[in-house]
Structure 1
Amino acid sequence: MQTTTVSELFSVFDQSVRLIREHRHISYLEALCTAGEIIFKGTAQDEELGKKLEPFYTDFYREGMTAEEIRRAFQLAALKGMKAEPRPGREMTPDSLVILMGHVVALLAGSRPFSILDPAVGTANLLTGVMNQAETDHIAAYGAETDDLMLKLAFTNANLQQKEIHFFHQDGLGPIYSGPVDFVVCDVPVGIYPDRQSAKSFELNGINGKAYTHFLFIEKGLRQLKESGYLFYLIPNQLFSEDKEHLFHRFIQKNAAILALLQLPSSLFKNAAAAKSVILLQKKGRGASVPKQTLLAEMPDFSDERKMRDFMIQMDQWFAR
């Protein structure tokens, strides 16, 4: 992948956003949605704005460019907007983790068609990043999101990458009409779920007397899976220590097998309290096989190329068993 292509595409987004903001006086992220829509459609309803943006949208798509390059450039632009106007819940999954999770899904799916859901899809950065690494183009993809602006960014992101994704403007813990899927991936929202009435329908409601959003999303993900399907989540490190009465432990024993639990390097996070791990579960049912040993590991710093290369080789060997 050529870094120059990603840089050039980011520059197109950034300059387009600047022109749109001067013209309409809207936020960076709102302007990014508008820029993406104009680039995708190749035209602007506003004639004056269209003339200013024409050099950008006519030269955006070029021979040899990939969806992954578009994703990375759009991600950089979205990150710039989020830093300018920070808001809780509007964070993006680090790119290194998108690549890691996409690699594992590709290992598990092989070249067969599959279906995938992200119940807290955000800008669709994780979902499209996973799709870009798949060995097949036959993917039925779904995403749910409550935040209007994040959903609009997700829709724009998917269009620019020419990905067919079915988006639902809704709470990811509500009914999602995707049908059972092969994979559920998610950078799980962390905290206390505010809808106490809806939380009562979950077995994992009431851990320590509370409705933790991150536990509920795990239960929801397993509900959405086909038998022997895979759940691959970014989870807070304190998840297991919060389970003081072993409610979660018993729930997992009954419904799934833990295939892997990888603690991520602390350098990825602002502080220890924000640190996360990735967990890979397989739902029980026909075709599911309990591993002789769960893959438990502390991942090396992503900037250490030698250690990361060795880790990826060991992980690939584990999945090949």
Structure 2
Amino acid sequence: MDNIEKLFNNFLDCVKCLQEALNVSLGDALVETFDNLENNQIKVELGAPDKETVQKLSQKYANLHYDQLSPKIKIQIFTLLVLKAVNEDGLDVNQMPTPPAIATVIAMFMLKLLPKEKLIITDPAIGTGNLLFSVVRQLKNSNHSKADFELYGIDNDEEMLSFADIAAHLNKIDIEMFCQDGLTPWMFPSPDVVVSDLPVGYYPVDDNAANFATKSVKGHSLAHLLFIEQIIKNLRPAGYAFLLVPQTILSGKGGSDFMPWLSEKVFLRSIIELPDNAFQNKFNQRSILIFQNHGKDARNSEVFLTKLDSFKKEEDLIKLNVKLNEWYTKNIN
């Protein structure tokens, strides 16, 4: 951990040096820093950064020994720096990278449920790309679908897409990304799979929300509900969605209206409540929602309901995998 902390601080020093020279946000400087390191060249536009800063950066970059670092370490450092940039630049909490442990749980279910064929996978709220790339990396490591994936991402924030672009490069993942509102028509083939950490909050474009059954009767509509409906509209028949959603929409007053509607539209497969201590307060509690679109040989099944007590204990994930196998054998296979 000491080595990671030292590396992090050395990288941060490079980013801050460039930030000061260009007078940009930490996030912009972070993207440019990794762009420079990956291309082994310091980008200069209209005389910025100046010659003195270029010399200073050249020495700082050399001290990083970037080419000798493993892809895993580069990804880890970049993710930590993105977290710092999101905090320091005052970006929305929805733009925070999704914790890797959540990607591990989702990948476990994807490996079990998805067909072993070429898959089109999309994230319509890709943000930094952390969730999608972590999941795809685990699928590739398991040689799922012979690691044959066609990937698409959507986000309406250019800075997030810049983060995702660097992250894709570090992960050696090919993806086509679109800067647009994810609740407007998608400009790529219907996906077999959607995986997303859905943005939580109110959607400001009332005229567009009016096109959705899940719109609010009064005031702004809830973006996460609209996104689920948009995903269902765009998923291929029998396609799967693996979504991180607010727990409030699945139970209590929030779920009493939404869940009956959802149960008519898709086949619910699983709801996994995440550990209480994974979130700062109960209002931020999230669950993983997994469903399959109607079509082909898709049929109804018993819903796999469970709660994870911890991300930190390996035995909890092992227990989850055992339960998943039992449920799958009984209901899906």
Which TM bucket (shorter chain)? 0.7 to 0.9
Percent of pairs with identical residues: 25
Structure-1 separation of matches of 2:24 and 2:221: 37
Using structure 2 for the length normalisation, give the TM-score.
0.85
**What is the SS of the residue equivalent to 1:279?**
strand
Structure-1 separation of matches of 2:177 and 2:3: 28
Q: 8 Å contact 2:206–2:220 — kept in the other structure?
A: no
Q: Which amino acid aligns with 2:76?
A: R
What's the RMSD between the two structures over aligned residues? 2.6
**What is the SS of the residue equivalent to 2:202?**
coil
Using structure 1 for the length normalisation, give the TM-score.
0.88
Does the C-alpha gap of structure 1 residues 300 and 178 become closer, same or farther in structure 2, counting only changes over 3 Å? same
- In structure 1, the partner of 2:77 is 73
- In structure 1, the partner of 2:91 is 87
Q: Which amino acid aligns with 2:312?
A: S
Q: 80-89 or 152-161, which moves further after superposition?
A: 80-89
- In structure 2, the partner of 1:305 is 314
Does the C-alpha gap of structure 1 residues 256 and 5 become closer, same or farther in structure 2, counting only changes over 3 Å? farther
Q: 100-109 or 297-306, which moves further after superposition?
A: 100-109
Residue 127 (structure 1) aligned to one of 123, 132, 152: 132
Shift of 1:262: 0.7
Q: 135-144 or 195-204, which moves further after superposition?
A: 135-144
Q: 8 Å contact 1:227–1:283 — kept in the other structure?
A: yes
Q: Which amino acid aligns with 1:202?
A: F
- In structure 1, the partner of 2:47 is none
**What is the SS of the residue equivalent to 2:28?**
helix
Shift of 1:49: 4.6
User: Can you list the C-alpha shifts for 1:215-263, whole angstroms capped at 9, x where unaligned?
Assistant: 11101111221111111111111103344763x3343233211100011
- In structure 1, the partner of 2:228 is 218
Shift of 1:22: 3.5
User: Can you list the C-alpha shifts for 1:59-109, whole angstroms capped at 9, x where unaligned?
Assistant: 42448x34x544332211111222223332332212211222233223333
1:30 aligns with 2:28: yes
1:314 aligns with 2:312: no
Q: 8 Å contact 2:275–2:307 — kept in the other structure?
A: yes
Q: 166-175 or 208-217, which moves further after superposition?
A: 208-217
Shift of 1:298: 1.1
Q: 16-25 or 115-124, which moves further after superposition?
A: 16-25
**What is the SS of the residue equivalent to 2:221?**
coil
- In structure 2, the partner of 1:230 is 240
Q: 129-138 or 48-57, which moves further after superposition?
A: 48-57
Structure-1 separation of matches of 2:37 and 2:116: 32
1:296 aligns with 2:301: no
Aligned length in residues: 315
Shift of 1:200: 1.1
1:281 aligns with 2:281: no
Q: Which amino acid aligns with 2:89?
A: E
Structure-2 separation of matches of 1:183 and 1:48: 49
User: Can you list the C-alpha shifts for 1:247-289, whole angstroms capped at 9, x where unaligned?
Assistant: x334323321110001111101110011010000000100313
Structure number with higher helix proportion: 2
- In structure 2, the partner of 1:118 is 123
Structure-2 separation of matches of 1:171 and 1:77: 26
> Which ranges in structure 1 are unaligned for 5 or more consecutive residues?
none
Shift of 1:312: 2.9
Q: Which amino acid aligns with 1:205?
A: K
Q: 8 Å contact 2:27–2:85 — kept in the other structure?
A: yes
**What is the SS of the residue equivalent to 1:133?**
helix
